[in-house]
Every structure is written in structure tokens, then in C-alpha cells.
Structure 1
Amino acid sequence: MLETKVEAFLSHHSFSLEDKKIVVGVSGGPDSLALLHYLLRQKEKQNITIVAAHVDHMFRGEESFEDAMFVKSFCEENEIPFEMARINIPEMMERTGKSSQVAAREARYDFFNEVMERYGFKLLALAHHGDDQIETMLMRFTRGSSGKARAGIPFLRPFHKGCIFRPFLSMTKKEIEEYCRINDLEPRLDPSNLKEVYSRNRFRKHVLPFLKSENRQVHEHFQRLSEDLQTDENYLQELTAEKMNRVIIKRVNSQVSIDTNVFRDMPMPLQRRGIQLILKYLYKRRPESLSAIHIDQIYSLIYSSNPSGKLDLPGGLKVVRSYSDCLFQFDLQSHDKYRLELTEPGSVYLPDGSSITLEIVDHMSPFLTECGAFFNIKNLEWPIVIRNRENGDKMSLKGMSGSKKVKDIFINSKVPISLRDIWPVITNGKGEILWLPGLKKSALEGISQAAEHYVLLTFKSNYLLGGTWNDER
């Protein structure tokens, strides 16, 4: 019965065991022992090579060591190569602060990968079954998981340089136990599987019996749902990645900046996945505390009627919205202050890589853009100073009476908050602001009938100039 169902399941996934070299994760319990026995039976039929790998997590002292010796003895009797590791998970938990399940899983999978590399095998077989699938999907639904996580346990997934496959996902726990009984297998039983302190055990004890009483084949429906969700999610992820190429303005190791106007034009099913892609890119290891609630908060920030806002996410990630710009960045710090001077023709470079160039010319170009400004050399107070903004900065604007706060100019020009502290402010020797490149020019800029020579200042930047705030009026 089990053999027939597993063969049909593998065939459904176009997966052949023939000529495969497989590491099998074996705890000694009913599921993994049945898997090892099943693959042993296929050894000659399909010319497969198997190695058993066992990890003693050292939770139960001598009892867990006896589990390891049981698996070793089974492998010796059946001439199966056996590899094992004893890893002190309680000590690892104390050192890292990780939960027992997370620490054990990471240690176990690291060892499996080590064995695969040592033998040069590309496949790892694990004994997750249909009941595990139901429990996993229900737990994730309850927890509020989204995207591919809702699809539960995949039959096949990449794992380091190889793949993990799970041939028992079509089977129930009861069918596996029956297989053990028929084949005189006497697996070890882990008493921790009965403790209700673990959420999985609570689902197993209280929820699964009810579902199975409603439909004995419920595991098949959950498996079908899992595969449908995985297929749909793969397609939606491809569409999301394609659309996000137009949404992302800047992307480096610890920073992503997006255009919220373009983001909101994306189809709704792709928007949440777009946020998840950004978080996946930035987080090298996803924090356990990161949840769908945080996705909702980012979503609300992007759609807020307030043009600016800020979120603090787990792991030190900051999300800052400023008009159409939304910045995701770790460890936002205040920018270093800078003050540079020009007393003769030449160039200076700002900390962000931008540059200011000073030239002496005898005429004013009619094609001057927001990247350049002219000043009558006779009216200038030297030196020319390039610096960050300062509290209380004001400037007299060309074509207007009175003065205006630099802060208000930034707000009215919709300069993102993240750029305001690095935007260059150019003054004369008396501290009067001559020019905010790309934004506003002072009353001192422009043609003068009495001028014989002009100072031409040119600003070059691949980052500050661009987007909707380049509106020099």
C-alpha cells in the first residue's frame, strides 16, 4: 500500500529514484525508519545509493544516545553507511538565545549538508508526511504567515548545492505506522512528541482528529492545496520581480529606496509581495519576530495621506517615507557635517560623491540649467562655502522679496527627508546663501549689466538630482 502510493506521488511530480545517491535523515522514529526501510527496498530495484545521517540533539541524555545507537545498529544489520553527530543543543540555546526547535533544526540541517558534501551526494530525503503538512499549514495560517509560507512543506526544494525531497507527503501517520508493523520495524518513540508545550503537538492532538473525523482523506486535499499555492506563488513572484525593477530607485547591500507612486500602480496582489521581496533582500537572516503585521504597517505607511512617516522594524531596519520616496535602511545615522571652501577655479567633492566646480567666465550661457548658477564676480564675498544645512537657514530668492527658510524650501520641493541633511547649501563669505543646487537660486544670481566676469558654479550628482523635487523656479 505505502509503496504504491509513494510511487504514484513521485510519478505525479515527475521524480525518479533511479540511479540517485541519497542522504537520508533518520531520527529512529516511525516516519524516518519507514523511509529508510522503503529506500533500502528500492536499492537494487532502482540502483540507488543511500547513506543514513543521524543527529543526537542531547536533549534526553542517555535515552537520546540510545536512539542513535539504535539507528546505527539498524544500518549495520542492513549494510547502510551511517553518519552521526552529537550536538549539545541546550548549550547552543543558552549561547545564542534561539528556541529549542530553531536551534535543533539549524544544527541538524547543517550536519546533513556536511554529510552530503563529504559523500558528494545531491539529494537529502526527509520523512515529513501528510499529517505534518496539515499541521504546518494550519500553524502558519493561525500565525498569520503570507506568501509561499502558507503553502506549507514543499515536496522538493533547493538545499545548498543539492535538493531536499519528501516522498511521504502523500501518506498519513497511521499508514506509516502500519507499514512499520507489517515489516516488523520497531522504531524508537520520542516522548517530547506528546508534550503540549509545543504548538505542533497541540494541533496534532486536538485539531487533526476533528479534521480526520470530517474527512479521512483530508491530508490529500491539504497536499493539493499546498501544491496549488506553491505554483500560484511562483508565478506571482516572477511578476512581482519584473514590476519591482521599475519601482526600485536605489538598491545597495543595506538600503533600498522605492518610488511609492509607481509602487501604487502595481496590481494589488503584487504589492505585498514586493514589500516581502525588499525585506528578503535586506534581511540576511529573517528575524523570528517579523510578521505579517509589519507588512501591514509598511503598506499603511506607503498609502498614508501624511507625506512623511517612519517605522522601526525588527533587527534595526528603518522604513522612512518622504513624499514619493520610501527608504528601507539599516542603522540610519545622522550624516557627517561638512564645510568646504573655494577661493579660485577648481572642484570640490562632497561626502556622497557629488561635486561643485568653480569657473571664471566672461559671459552667461542661455542654456544654463538647474545644475549651474552665475554670479557677478565683483559682487561676491569670498570664499565660496559649500556645507550642510544648519538650523535657521534662510535665503533671499531670485524674483521674490524677503527671505524663505531652507526647511520650507525642502518641504515645498518635496525633497525626501533622507536627503535633506546631505543636500549642499552654497554661501558667500558673509554666510549669505547663494544657491541650493537643483532647487532655488538667490537674488544675487543672474545677469548684471555691470559685470565683466562671472563666477560659474556647476553641480554634478547622480543621486540628488532626479525625481520630482528637481523643480527650480
Structure 2
Amino acid sequence: MNLLEQVERRIKEHKLLAQGDAVVVAVSGGPDSVALLHILFLLSERHDWKLAAAHVNHQFRGEESDSEAVFVANLAQKWGIPCEVAKIDVPAYIEQTSLNAQTAAREKRYEFLHAVARQYSAKSIALAHHADDQAETILMRLIRGTGPSGLTGMQELRQEKKVELIRPFLRIYKSDIEQHCLQYGLSFCRDSSNELRKYFRNQIRLDVMPLLRSYNDQLPESLNRLAEMMQAEDDYMESAARQFFTEQVTIESRGVLFSRQPFARLHVALQRRLIKLILDYLASGVEKIDFTRVELLRNAILQEQTSNLKLDINEHFCLVREYDSIRFQASQTAVGAYAYPIVLEDAELRIPEAGMKLIIKECGSKEMTVDVFPVSTPLDSEAFFDLDQLELPLVVRSRAAGDRMQPYGLNGTKKVKDMFIDAKIPPSQRDAIPLIVDAKGQVLWIPGLRHSKHAPVHTETMHVLHMKLIPY
């Protein structure tokens, strides 16, 4: 089977292109991209593909770069293929961004390729990476350090910015590509920078791979098999992690929430995968999350000694553990101390720190029956007091160090802090919870938690203060 047939079969079996697709072909002018453009050109009549060539002059090599741009434009014209050429000052971009040369060139190149895809309404961008490139990529990642996902290498088909990046040559070796060029008499350019050992990939290709092949002549094939196997296993692991995410993770306005116990029952490999999935969901592309960071987060979730903690992930996000609840959320400024006087003549008082408002009503006891305003149950959002027994003025404020309360039905006092702990109120919420306090500093009511024994309503009460806390 010749290369033309191999590529056509691969495109069909893996659905890289469909009948009538518009596709942008990235053409550097080297043998790989020239062969790719040629093969797609030969197949385009049969499959009704609308091709457009795209070339970037990175301005790294002066006249050599300029001549490559002219070569690609002429080649496309010869085959009747529209061609877009961009001249981009990548050295200036490197100076501006401090990126390394290869990263900067890639960023500007892909930016241009996507622009051309939009211009031609193309569904796909075809890239000429081949099996030897894939083997080099796997080896580079092994040397630098990578996880299972990194060992999948480059993808034959990947979605990026609503366009599919396809690599029809990814299972084809360079020797077969060069043979195709020889067979059809295709001319191409040689990039002199491919011989410069200042680039890591060139060191791998020119020095490391030949050395390692002295131990295993089939090393490129072995590395490509590894990538193919890891791709299948990575797909399975990703699917399992996404299933847990769908079933167990709640998406909130500032982040995500899940329970610790189901997470703890997962296999360690899925725990790591889920953490990476969550971080990618929250901040895709913000920062590369390494193994050490993932392990730090995983151990913080699993440890038994501490029920509540906060761990910064980076300057944007943090992990908050509160009892069985685990939150990955955007970092936020802590709620500051607040205090608002309660004016009985007002109908309501807004408490922005709590996102609540206090409804205030003064009435006579004859307007109500005693059994509708007993001392509040712990979960009540409203409370009733004998107004004549209260020490006025009242204040609604956040908790303060040393706060104590005389809860109704209990002897003595209890620390407000301990009451929050007993009720398992998450630490991140405690500073926002409003306390109703009298002029002597006695805590009268913690809405939704406890009511004090002060100023209870009884049969002889003449004036009732009714307060209700509701969201606004």
C-alpha cells in the first residue's frame, strides 16, 4: 500500500475529514508539509475537499525564510490552491513576552492558522507531524517529566477553538514521506535551523535518538506503540473521572463542591485525575499543575487529623475543606467585621456581608397568640422577644472574640465559637453570620442556630419584638 492509500484509509477510518470539507493545510515548505499538501491535493478531487495553504514566515532566518515563503506560494499556485502567507516578527514577540523561540513561534503560527481557517470557513487545520515527530515528543516528555496523559503524545484529531487539528501523517514515518517526494519528483526546502543543537528537539533527534537506537533499533516504533496504548488508557481514565464529576460534583458560582467520602473511596489514580479535571475546568490554561501540587491537594482532602483547612492553589484559586465538604473555589477576601444598629421604627435592615435582610416588627401581644411566638427552634429564621425586657439599643453584628451566649433551655453560658463548631458551620461562613446583641453585649439570637433565654415572650408580655432574617 503506497503512502497515498495509507493516508486516505487513515482519514476515512478515523474520520479526520468528511466529504466536501474545507481544510487549511499548514505548509512550512519542508518535505513533510509539501507531501501532505500534495496528497490532500491528489485526494481532493475524489472527496471534494476545498484546500487552502497557509505559511508563516517567522523571520528567524532572513533570506532563507523569505525564499521559503515564495516557494510555498508558487507551489500552491502551481496546483491551483489558494495560499495565505503571513510575515510575523517573532523575534520582536519574543522580546515582548520573554517566551522561548519555539513557544513564541508556535503561538503566532497557530494564531495565524486559526485566522485563515475562519477566513475560509474551514472545519479543519491539517498539520504534517509524523511518527518520528511523535516518538521524539514522547522521549522529550519522559526526559522532562510527565504523567500518563503526557505519554499519549500528539493527538491525531483534537478540537481547538472550534476547529479540528488533524495530523494525517501521525502514524507515517519520515522515510516513507521522503520516498513519496522522490516518487513524485516533489521539490522542497531544507530548514537550516533543524541542525542547530540549541533547540531541545534537535538535540533529541540528532543525538539522543541515534544513541538510544543503538540499544533498540525499533525505538521510534516502541515509543509510538506506547503513545497508542496510553491514549486508550487515558481515554478510559478520563471517562471514569468525568463520570464522577457529573455524578458527584456540584458546580457553584465561584467554583465546585463535592463530598470527601466518595472521593476517598476512589482509586488513587482517579483521585489525581479528578483533581486535574477540576483544576482544568476552573482555570484551563492558567497554569500547568504538576504532580507535587496535585499530591498536596489530594492529601489535604484525605487527611484525618484536620476537619477544616484552606490551601491556596495559586493566586486565583484555593481548596477549602469544611468537614465533609470539599470546595475548589476562586480566592476571595475574608468578610470583615461589621455592626449595624437596629432602629425599631425601621421596617427592615440590610446586612450586605451576609446577603440577608432583617425584617423588624413591633406589635402588641393582643395582636398575636402566645403559641405562635414561643422561643425559636434552632432552625428558625425568626425570633420573638419581650420588648420591655430588652436592653436597648440592639445591634446586629458579626461574631467577635470571646462572644458567649445563654442558650434557651441550657444552664450557664456557651462560647459562640463552640456553638458554630457543634453545628458544623463551615469556617468560611462563620464571619458572615449575623448575631443580634443587646446594649450590654449579650447575644440574644443567632438566626438559624440558637435563641438566648433573655426577654422571653410570656402571657404577661405587653409589647413583642418580632425579627425575621431572609435573603435579599
Sort the TM-score into its range (normalised by shorter chain).
0.7 to 0.9
CA shift for structure 1 position 174: 2.5
The one-letter amino acid of 1:347's match is E
Change (3 A) 1:389 1:181: same
SS in 2 for 1:36: helix
CA shift for structure 1 position 421: 1.9
Match 1:370 to one of 379, 398, 410: 379
CA shift for structure 1 position 220: 5.2
Deviations 1:372-402 (A, max 9, x none): 3332222212333222222333333334444
Q: Contact 1:373–1:445 (CA<8 Å) still a contact in 2?
A: no
Q: Give the corresponding residue for 1:256.
A: 256
Structure 1 residue 432 and structure 2 residue 431: aligned?
A: no
Q: Give the corresponding residue for 2:104.
A: 103
Q: Contact 1:24–1:126 (CA<8 Å) still a contact in 2?
A: yes
Change (3 A) 1:139 1:454: farther
Q: Give the corresponding residue for 2:335.
A: 335
Q: Structure 2 CA distance, aligned partners of 1:247 and 1:428? A: 44
- Counterparts of 1:54-203 in structure 2 under 5 Å? 54-146=55-147, 148-203=149-204
SS in 1 for 2:370: coil
Q: Structure 2 CA distance, aligned partners of 1:84 and 1:24? A: 12
Q: Contact 2:387–2:455 (CA<8 Å) still a contact in 1?
A: no
Change (3 A) 1:407 1:369: closer
Q: Structure 1 CA distance, aligned partners of 2:61 and 2:308? A: 54
Change (3 A) 1:170 1:238: closer
SS in 2 for 1:98: coil
TM-score, structure 1 length as denominator? 0.85
Q: Give the corresponding residue for 1:300.
A: 299
Q: For structure 1, which runs of at least 5 residues remain unmatched after alignment?
A: 463-473
Q: For structure 2, which runs of at least 5 residues remain unmatched after alignment?
A: none
The one-letter amino acid of 1:370's match is L
SS in 2 for 1:124: strand
The one-letter amino acid of 1:348's match is L
Change (3 A) 1:200 1:403: farther
SS in 2 for 1:429: coil
- Aligned-residue CA RMSD in angstroms? 3.0
- Which segment is superposed worse, 61-70 or 193-202? 193-202
- Which segment is superposed worse, 59-68 or 235-244? 235-244
Change (3 A) 1:73 1:321: same
CA shift for structure 1 position 369: 4.7
Q: Give the corresponding residue for 1:470.
A: none
Q: Structure 2 CA distance, aligned partners of 1:284 and 1:17? A: 30
Change (3 A) 1:143 1:257: farther
Instruction: Count residues with an aligned counterpart.
Output: 460
- Counterparts of 1:9-48 in structure 2 under 5 Å? 9-15=10-16, 18-48=19-49
Change (3 A) 1:241 1:385: farther
SS in 2 for 1:419: helix
Q: Structure 2 CA distance, aligned partners of 1:107 and 1:355? A: 52
TM-score, structure 2 length as denominator? 0.86
CA shift for structure 1 position 337: 3.9
SS in 2 for 1:458: strand
Q: Contact 2:16–2:166 (CA<8 Å) still a contact in 1?
A: no
